[in-house]
């Protein structure tokens, strides 16, 4: 019987300004990873807004995920990772497709466990639902309204007032 190798973890931390410290996040994440006997590499974005498209450490982390250099991504909170809900869900979907599990300590999400995998499936289902119900802008009704300069249709209702008989 083969001895399973320990998970290779990627620890990701981010702070928006240089006045903030990453050490608080790193200490907690290191303890979590160490308690599980995992090996870890740290990816740190200091003074980088979460709203930016380009984040050097996150970009490197994504490239390393594609190269299969780690098995699980561990972060302090979801908002440290994604710049928006859509970006976060897309990133987590991409990581899952690469076989990378995900852990967020503050939210208690641990996709290395069966319960955590269920949470990720639920998040994925919500994401798929949101994508499916968002208008693509390419349907005939949308094209027609674009030509007419109209946006969403406004429905007007006429109410009928009744007089009460004295």
Question: What are the catalytic residues?
Answer: 16
How much helix, strand and coil, in percent to the nearest 5, is found in the chain?
40, 15, 40
Q: What does the alpha-carbon distance between residue 134 and residue 22 come to, in Å, rounded to a whole number?
A: 37
Judged by phi (left if over 0) then psi (alpha if -120 to 50, else beta), residue 146 lies in: alpha
Euclidean distance between CA atoms 84 and 78, whole angstroms = 10
* Cα(67)–Cα(44) distance, integer angstroms: 19
């Amino acid at each position: 019987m083969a001895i399973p190798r320990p998970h290779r973890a990627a620890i990701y931390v981010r702070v928006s300004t240089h006045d903030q410290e990453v050490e608080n996040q790193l200490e907690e994440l290191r303890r979590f990873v160490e308690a599980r006997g995992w090996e870890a590499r740290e990816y740190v974005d200091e003074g980088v807004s979460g709203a930016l498209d380009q984040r050097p450490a996150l970009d490197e982390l994504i490239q390393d995920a594609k190269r299969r250099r780690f098995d699980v991504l561990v972060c302090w909170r979801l908002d440290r990772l994604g710049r928006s809900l859509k970006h976060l869900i897309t990133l987590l979907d991409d990581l899952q497709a690469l076989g990378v599990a995900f852990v967020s300590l503050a939210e208690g999400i641990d996709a290395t466990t069966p319960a955590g995998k269920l949470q990720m499936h639920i998040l994925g289902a919500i994401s798929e639902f949101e994508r499916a119900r968002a208008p693509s802008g390419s349907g005939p009704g949308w094209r027609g309204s674009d030509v007419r300069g109209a946006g969403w249709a406004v429905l007007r209702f006429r109410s009928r007032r009744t007089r009460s008989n004295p």
